[in-house]
């Protein structure tokens, strides 16, 4: 089992819809989780961090964390074509010395 797992997609949604991206992790000791966006040919860009159970909202983005289920999600409301990118979930593995590990990424395509 990979330490951080995501559905690779591609996920396709129409413009204006809600995009839902999911991630699971294996290290129960992990406390810190991140979502990065990566456009083709570019480096990952941090868009959200979440440390506590529940929801965290920032503009059109909402991150959700459920530590009991070892599950993290990212919701993008009112999706725009400019949101089309690969979304990477990441976790700091406290039981492995604090290294930052990424999932394989989910490709999102927002159709006009």
Binding residues vs other proteins (CB under 8 A): 6, 31-32, 34, 36, 42-46, 49, 51, 88, 92, 94, 96-105
Residue whose CB is less far from other proteins, 40 or 82: 40
In this structure, the dihedral spanned by the alpha carbons of residues 5, 37, 108 and 20, taken in order and rounded to 10 degrees, is 60
CA distances from 44 to 1, 39, 48, 57 (A): 24, 8, 12, 20
Residue whose CB is less far from other proteins, 20 or 32: 32
CB of 68 to other proteins, least distance (A): 20
Residue whose CB is less far from other proteins, 14 or 95: 95
Query: How is residue 63 annotated by DSSP?
Result: E
């Amino acid at each position: 089992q990979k330490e951080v797992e995501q559905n690779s997609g591609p996920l396709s949604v129409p413009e204006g819809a809600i995009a839902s991206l999911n991630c699971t992790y294996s290290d129960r000791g992990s406390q810190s989780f991140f979502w990065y966006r990566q456009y083709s040919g570019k480096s990952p860009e941090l868009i959200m961090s979440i440390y506590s159970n529940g929801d965290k909202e920032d503009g059109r983005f909402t991150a959700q964390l459920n530590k009991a289920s070892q599950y993290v999600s990212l919701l993008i409301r009112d999706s725009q074509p400019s949101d089309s990118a690969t979304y990477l979930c990441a976790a700091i593995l406290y039981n492995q010395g604090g290294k930052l590990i990424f999932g394989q990424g989910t490709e999102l395509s927002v159709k006009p």
